Structure formats: C-alpha cells, structure tokens
Amino acid sequence: MPPQLKAEVNVMPRVVQGDLQSLPPEARDFIESNAKLCQPESIHICDGSEEENKKILDIMVEQGMIKKLSKYENCWLALTDPRDVARIESKTVIITQEQRDTTPIPKSGTSQLGRWMSEEDFEKAFNTRFPGCMQGRTMYVIPFSMGPIESPLSKIGIELTDSPYVVASMRIMTRMGTAALKSLSNRDFVKCLHSVGCPLPLKEPLINNWPCNPELTLIAHLPDRREIISFGSGYGGNSLLGKKCFALRIASRIAKEEGWLAEHMLILGITNPEGEKKYFAAAFPSACGKTNLAMMNPSLAGWKIECVGDDIAWMKFDEQGNLRAINPENGFFGVAPGTSVKTNPNAIKTIFKNTIFTNVAETSDGGVYWEGIDEPLTPGVTVTSWKNKNWTPDKGEPCAHPNSRFCTPASQCPIMDPAWESPEGVPIEGIIFGGRRPAGVPLVYEAFNWQHGVFIGAAMRSEATAAAEHKGKIIMHDPFAMRPFFGYNFGKYLAHWLSMAHRPAAKLPRIFHVNWFRKNSQGKFLWPGYGENSRVLEWMFNRIEGKAPAKPTAIGYIPADTALNLKGLEDVNLTELFDISKEFWEKEVEEIKRYFEVQVNADLPYEIEREMLALEMRIKQL
C-alpha cells in the first residue's frame, strides 16, 4: 500500500468469519494494515458458499439495497444512486513514476489513451479518503481467481470491500472463496482495496439506500505494485475490481512483462456442418453487439456457435505455437437494454435465475423491463422505472438506465462451449475487430498480414456509448476497443502486439474487421445482423481453411463476388455494403493519421507508420 496515515484507533477489528492466522503472511499483512487504516467494525473472510451468499443477500435486503424479483428464481434488483451508474473515465487513473509509462505524451492537448496521476498526488488523494472510511461497516475479504483455478493462465486477487453488493457480484463474476484462498499459498496476488466511502453513522441520507461518494470517487491502478485502489463508487466497473481494473488494466501490464495478451475480447467457437471447429476472439467497443455475437444463434443450417466468454480474453502462445485463450471471468455483466429474444435468445435463456439486475425497470408482477426487451406487458401490469417512479411509454424517458446491467453466472448459458473452463485455453485462429460505423466501412474485410491487422486494430473507430459518461453519438477512436482499459503506454502496447510475429513457431491468427451497422441514404441498416452475422463468420472460417475466394482492395481483402453465402436472404445490396469510397477513406486516413500523430506521437511504432503510409498510397490509387 502507499504510505498511510496512522489510524486513530490502531486496534484490529474482530473477525466474524474465517481465520486470519491461517493465511499466508503477505495476504495477512495486506488485510491487517488496511483494516487498521479503514477501521471497519468487523472482518469477514469470504468462503464463496451458498450459505454465505444467502446471508449477504439477506443483509442487502435488510439495508434496502436490493429487492427480490418474485417472478424469477433467486433474482434481485438493485437501484443505484443516479450519480453512480457507469464507469467514470475522468476519475480512473494509473499511477506510475513517469507519465510516459502510462500514456504517450500527446503532441497537444490531453491524452485520450488513459489518465496518469503522479505518485505524490495519489498519496494525497489516498490519505484524504481511506483513513476511517469503513467505520461501522464490515470489511469483506474476497479471495478470487481470474480464470479456472487450476489454469496456468489464471491469476489470483484479494479484494477488500465494505460493499455486500460487491461480494454477491464477485461471487458470480469470478471463482471466489475457499478454493481461490487455498491456491494463494505460494502465488503472487493482485491487491484490491475498495470502499464506497460512506462511514457510519452517515453524514447525509442515502439515495435508494445506495452508499457512494461521487464527489470523492477515484479508481486508481498501481501496476508496479500490482494494486488497485477504488473509492466512492459501488457501480460494477468501478467496484468489481476483478473486472476491467484487474482483467484488463493490471493484466495487460502483467501480460506485457510475461509475453502474453490481455484483451477486451469475446471468445467463441464455431463448428461447420462437417464438424470442424475453430475459435475466434473479437474486440468491439461497448454496445456494438459483442454479447450478442458471443451467444449468437446462427441462421445458417448446420452451423453451431458456442460461447467461451463475452468480454475479456487472456491469450498466450503455447509451445506448439498455438495462441491459447481463456475467459478469466465466471459470469456475464451485460447491458440489459436491447437484449431480447430477437437480439440474443441465449442471453434471455441465461439471465432469469441467480441474477442481480441493476438499474432496470421493475414490473408490478415482480419481473424486469427495459428498452428493447420486445415483450408486450400483460394487461394490468405496471412498470416502475429505475428512478423508482411510475412509468409509461409516453413518459418521454427510458424506463431502464441505458447502462443498466444483468450480472449472471456464465454456466447458465445454454451454449457455453464444452472447453470454456479448459485450463490450457482454446486455440484462437481468427481475431475480429469491429465498431459501429454508419457510413463508409464495409461489412467485412481481412488484413493483408499480421502487421496490417495490428494497424486495423489501432485504427478502430466507433460511435460512443452509454457505458461511460460520454453523451451523444459521436465517432470516437477506440483502438482495440481498449481505449479506456490500457494498463500502460499505447505505443508500447502496439509494439507488444507487433512482437508476436517474431515468436518462434507462432501460428498467427488471421485478422478481420467487421461492421454490422452500415446504413443506406435513408438511414436504414444495410445488413440484417444478429443470427445472419454467421454468414460473415462462415466466410472467415473458410478463409482460414484456404477455401473462400477474396479480392484485394485498398483496405484489405473482401469476399469475392459470390463468396458470401446469401442463400435465403432478400434485399441485401452487396454493392452498397462493400463500397469503398475514395472520398470517405481519404477523410478516414486523415483522421487516423492525425490521431496517431497527436495522441501516440513519438511512441508510434514505425511498422504502424509504414502501414499508415501504405494505406494512404492505396487510397490515392482508387
């Protein structure tokens, strides 16, 4: 931990569950020093049992933090303080000695590739927040594994928190409890400290019985010390520290040092009618249909898709040169609005038991409701919005928050891949990048080679989403869909990706880019999407097999005229879908070039610069 103020009361709180003395010394020191600092009333070492989970849920019901949804089996609804509803990029920082270790130094303005805080500023921020911050509350000790406990690709963490909501959610999202604790003995662990920042007695009443401290919210990462320190927010991305904080920001830095990749990617398996199977990893910014793709019902007869993970992939080359991937998570923390039987039937089959819903609307018969659920309300059933007000469709505002969530066990998904918990991971043969681009970008194209593929990932752009505090629909740069999640300098991250090509015997996956969201001049989508996206996956699958024809264009290979299987699809205008407009791409090249020059500046690898120039030349020749 950073230098700490001496606690006013240097007395260890009583341990109400578990045995501190049985823990390895480093774990015990971590817990004791923070207990003395934060001064909780008691310490509870989590075992992850069903019995414990019931007690935690009962505590939250008693505190008014959650309510039972009587329509479903073991499902719960939490409504947060309206000031605590999303990740807050402006308050999410990485602490390193030099700014350039965290982000490239931009040519002008501030970096959009992460926020750096100096060690001195962090020490001050820490010391104004944490002393006494858990008074009157229980400090829960959550030992957890990111990835299957026995996997060589997995990592262990311990999160200290004063939020029972975090305990219940981490039990779903990670392998949490006794098994993780047992595997601690001789392993390093990531130290995670979280407080809602509301010591008891309260100075002011809570909103929705949801403790948080928005004025002092700070989510800090100390990669050199493998520490995550979060204060003031109870919302998932800021408080479930195994998720983006550990699995991406800290893990990407560990991955750089250990020679692997920690990525914001789904993992899916696809099997053709002949029974041949391939695995793909795919990076999409929030709200681009990532969970829908991971759980897709393919429209093509005889094809099967199975889900390994919907959000994060840890990937490492094995001794045979295969890129092996695990999903480090144990659950889905999905965006509820837009999830329906049409868009994601497998999610709908997953989420109505053992699930914590946050900031969705509630129906008077004990169910949930949100925009795009596509289910008519039973006559006489009324809706209460996430703001706890009576709601009708004519209210002019959404019934569920745009970033409302379901937190649900992955094992309940009917199409989980049989190898989803395989310790060695699954072999990745294709990597897909994608974004929400209404204009100019074709349905699918393939990179010419690995370097060109890394450039395509670096140049990703997409409409901004509600998952963070950005408002409105603007096209934002989101390289690798990792812009808010890089754990170190993006230029060095690109160099790390490029270095994979120099690994002896590495079987480099093919790299593709997709865009399901292109529109025509009337603003209508040109591609039906959802299950029909399996047609694009079929082309990729066959490209890897060396069977599907393609034609080179200025931006990459696109399907040859008859290569995309459109059997049974009507009114698909391939000419518009694959049009590569010189005017559009000249502007696109200028945007990407300016972004690299300003944001990545001196840290842009020369291979990316070379790809940029090559693209520019090819566009000129259109």
d(CA 563, CA 566): 9
Provide the 3-class DSSP secondary structure of residue 605.
Answer: coil
- Whether 198 is catalytic is no
Mean pLDDT of 340-360: 96
The owner of tokens 């959404």 is: 398
In which band, very low, low, confident or very high, does the pLDDT at 288 lie, cut at 50, 70 and 90? confident
Contact 197, 48 (CB under 8 A): no
Q: Measured between alpha carbons, how far is 247 from 482 in angstroms, rounded to an integer?
A: 12
Residue with tokens 């989403």: 465
How far, CA to CA in Å, does 112 sit from each of 102, 483, 590? 11, 8, 18
User: What is the per-residue pLDDT across 580-615, written as a single tens digit (0 to 9) for each?
Assistant: 999 999 999 999 999 999 999 999 999 999 999 999
Supply the DSSP string of 162-190, one letter for each residue: S-HHHHHHHHHHSEESHHHHHTTTTS-EE
Mean pLDDT of 392-417: 96
Mean pLDDT of all residues belonging to the chain: 95
> Which residue from 483, 489, 494 is spatially nearest to 103, judged by alpha carbons?
489
Taking the C-alpha atoms of residue 407 and residue 399, their distance in angstroms, rounded to an integer, is 19
User: What tokens were used for 486?
Assistant: 């890089």
CA distances from 422 to 254, 266, 324, 365 (A): 21, 16, 10, 40
Two structure tokens written together for 72:
């479903």
The pLDDT assigned to 8 comes to: 47
Of 178-192, 381-395, 429-443, 568-582, the range with the lowest mean pLDDT is 178-192
**How far, in Å, are 63, 166, 246 from residue 38 at the CA level?**
21, 17, 22
Binning pLDDT at 50, 70 and 90, where does residue 544 land? very high
Number of helices (H) and strands (E), helices first, in the chain?
Answer: 16, 32
For residue 156, how many C-alpha atoms fall within 13 Å in the half-sphere facing its CB? 20
Tell me the C-alpha distance between 237 and 494, whole Å: 25
CA distance 408 to 75: 9
Helix (H, G, I), strand (E, B) or coil at 533: helix
The whole-number pLDDT of residue 5 equals: 44
| Cα distances (Å, whole numbers) of residue 176 to 146, 159, 166, 333, 563 | 9, 10, 12, 16, 46
**From 75, 133, 192, 288, the catalytic residue:** 288
Q: How far apart are CA 432 and CA 480, in angstroms?
A: 10
Answer yes or no: are the C-beta atoms of 194 and 239 closer than 8 Å: yes
Q: What would the mean pLDDT of 484-493 be, rounded to a whole number?
A: 98
Kindly report whether the peptide bond that precedes residue 201 is cis, defined as omega within 30 degrees of 0: yes
For residue 283, give the 3-state DSSP assignment. Answer: strand
pTM: 0.96
Half-sphere exposure of residue 221, counting CA atoms within 13 Å on the CB side?
32
Question: What is the structure's pLDDT at 463?
Answer: 84
From the CA atom positions of the chain, what is the Rg in Å?
A: 24
pLDDT at residue 469 above 60? no
- Alpha-carbon distance of 184 to 402, in angstroms, equals 38
pLDDT at 73: 98
Which residues is 76 bridged to in the sheet?
68, 356
Predicted local confidence at residue 285, as pLDDT: 87
Instruction: State the pLDDT confidence band at 229, using cuts at 50, 70 and 90.
Output: very high
Q: How much is the pLDDT for 89?
A: 92
Single-letter amino acid code for the residue at 592: I
Categorize the per-residue pLDDT at 460 as very low, low, confident or very high, splitting at 50, 70 and 90.
Answer: very high
Q: Which residues have C-beta within 8 Å of that of residue 566, sequence separation ≥ 6?
A: 535, 572, 574
Total residue length of the chain: 622
* pLDDT value of position 6: 44
**Three-state secondary-structure class, residue 66:** strand
Confidence check: pLDDT of 471 > 60? no
Specify the DSSP class assigned to residue 246: I
What is the distance between the alpha carbons of residues 158 and 241, in angstroms, rounded to a whole number?
9
pLDDT in tens, 191-223: 999 999 999 999 999 999 999 999 999 999 999
Amino acid 351 reads I
Token output for 620: 């000129």
Per-residue pLDDT tens over the stretch 98-138: 999 999 999 999 999 999 999 999 999 999 999 999 999 99
Separation of alpha carbons 47 and 55, rounded Å: 12
Query: Which residues lie below 8 Å from residue 342, measured CB to CB, with a gap of 6+?
Result: 374, 530
- Whether pLDDT at 470 is above 80: no
Helix, strand or coil for residue 209? Answer: coil
pLDDT at residue 351, as a whole number: 98
Q: Which tokens is 523 given?
A: 């603003």
Taking Cα atoms as reference points, which of 482, 565, 136 lies closest to residue 313? Answer: 482
